Amino acid sequence: MIDINLIRTNPDLVKENIKKKFQDEKLGYVDEVLALDSQIRELKKQGDDLRAQRNSLSQQIGMLMKNKEVDKAEKIKAQVVQNNQKIVEIEKQTEELAEKIKKDMMVIPNIIDKSVPIGKDDRENVEIERYGEAKVPSFEVPYHADILDSIGGLDKESAGRTSGTGFYYLIGDAARLHEAMLAYGRDFMIDKGFTYAIPPFMIRSDVVNGVMSFAEMEAMMYKIEGEDLYLIGTSEHSMIGRFKGQIINEQSLPITMTSYSPCFRKEIGAHGLEERGLYRVHQFEKQEMIVLCKPEDSMAWYDKMWHFSVEIFRNLNIPVRALECCSGDLADLKVKSCDIEAWSPRQKKYFEVCSCSTLGDAQARRLGIKAKNDKQSYYLHTLNNTVLATPRALIAFLENNIQEDGSISIPKCLQPYMGGKTQIFPKK
């Protein structure tokens, strides 16, 4: 949510930003906010005038009662009562208009950074750089579900009976490898100075509304029936929500945290071959990184965070590339975002495994999160990025580390989490 003062002082800039995001249907919200804001200002003036008049009349009542002019005092008391009723009506109208403004403001997208490329959708994202050589081995790389089957590591059939489509069991070395990757990602971030956290896996609607747009919420979140609780789609939501309504001492900034959680999403299974695999599932696990910082530091943290992702995946022997997300591919709260994509030697293309974003002060403004120094308080900036999300990171790992004989090589960074194993062999 942007600052309403920006709409008051520069509505054309806000409209131009909407056009850059190819959301022309939202242009009317800017004019509506201006009109509603004007009404509120007029009502506030009326209310202030009535209060001043009420104070003056109250003083007159005191003087009249002192002079025993009871009849005149009663007439003025009646006028005071009328003024009070008008003030109550004005306050009610003001609240209703303010609520309408809030709803409109929640729909108007955040102002994107000047460096964001303009484009309609993810097909127009811009490649920044590639890291590692994207090789295609001399042998055919099996589909990841078949690799997992070969080591006795995947059971979607039983998950279908217990939970339905979009769920899975990981078994044996596959489950251990899954947890090893998450543990490595956790310790990597701790070594970078981030504080480890395990947050609540359910959050209330006011937190959901604070961290994401309505469209994202409807597309992603599972609601707990009969309760004001949602299953989280990412731990960023509950981690940012932790600071809701707080005023943070500037000396405590930046706040850098890495959090683990299961994630629950309303994904629709992909068609064709991919339905056998783990590309789109309703439940997965993720290690996340979150930063709360001063506005002037957010872009430096943004660059630092996505480079962490590159380093992690290269340590896992996975070639990656960084893509700058274009304006039309940015969610409404995002100022700037990039995706890290892993190389798939089987598909001979890259696919997304991480997403790094700075949201400016949008989430902080919605949730009332401020920082304070000796001179002023201000909304701080929030950033988030994927450390590792399985099973996508697991898929990339399997495809890039499988050998011609069907064994899977374990890089040095994971070996301590795998009991010293250097390879996983197919079951015979």
Residue 83 lies in a domain: yes
Q: Indicate the pairing of strand 423-424 with strand 408-409.
A: antiparallel
Sign of CA dihedral 10, 15, 19, 20: positive
- 259 and 408 share one domain: yes
- Separation of CA 48 from chain center: 40
- 98 and 238 share one domain: no
Distance CA 56, CA 46 (A): 15
Does 416 sit behind a cis peptide bond, omega within 30 degrees of 0 on the bond before it? no
pLDDT of residue 301: 98
- 26 and 171 share one domain: no
Count up the domains in the chain and report the number.
2
- 272 and 355 share one domain: yes
Residue 116 lies in a domain: no
Q: Indicate the pairing of strand 349-358 with strand 381-390.
A: antiparallel
- 387 and 266 share one domain: yes
- 73 and 163 share one domain: no
Question: Which pair of structure tokens corresponds to residue 376?
Answer: 């002023």
Helix (H, G, I), strand (E, B) or coil at 428: coil
State the burial class of residue 404 (Cβ atoms within 10 Å of its Cβ: 0-12, 13-18, 19+): exposed
Residue-wise over 363-400: b if at least 16 C-beta within 10 A, else e? Answer: bbbbbebbbeeeeeeebbbbbbbbbbbbbbbbbbbbbb
One-letter amino acid for residue 30 of the chain:
V
Residue 114 lies in a domain: no
Residue 168 lies in a domain: yes
- 96 and 130 share one domain: no
Distance CA 148, CA 366 (A): 43
Q: Which residues of the chain fall below pLDDT 70?
A: 70, 214, 268-275
Global pTM value: 0.89
Last residue of a domain, one of 107, 138, 164: 107
- 152 and 206 share one domain: yes
One-letter amino acid for residue 99 of the chain:
E
Q: In terms of residue numbers, what domain contains 59?
A: 4-107
Last residue of a domain, one of 107, 139, 174: 107
Contact 199, 234 (CB under 8 A): no
- 10 and 38 share one domain: yes
- 418 and 361 share one domain: yes
- Give the end-to-end CA distance of the chain in Å, rounded to a whole number: 57
pLDDT of residue 273: 36
- 99 and 140 share one domain: no
Residue 115 lies in a domain: no
Last residue of a domain, one of 43, 78, 107: 107
Residue 296 lies in a domain: yes
Residue 337 lies in a domain: yes
- 42 and 134 share one domain: no
Residue 112 lies in a domain: no
Looking up residue 357, the CATH number of its domain turns out to be 3.30.930.10
pLDDT of residue 170: 96
DSSP annotation string for 257-271: EEEEEEEE--PPPPS
Looking up residue 10, the CATH number of its domain turns out to be 1.10.287.40
C-alpha angle 8-106-27 in degrees, rounded to nearest 5: 60
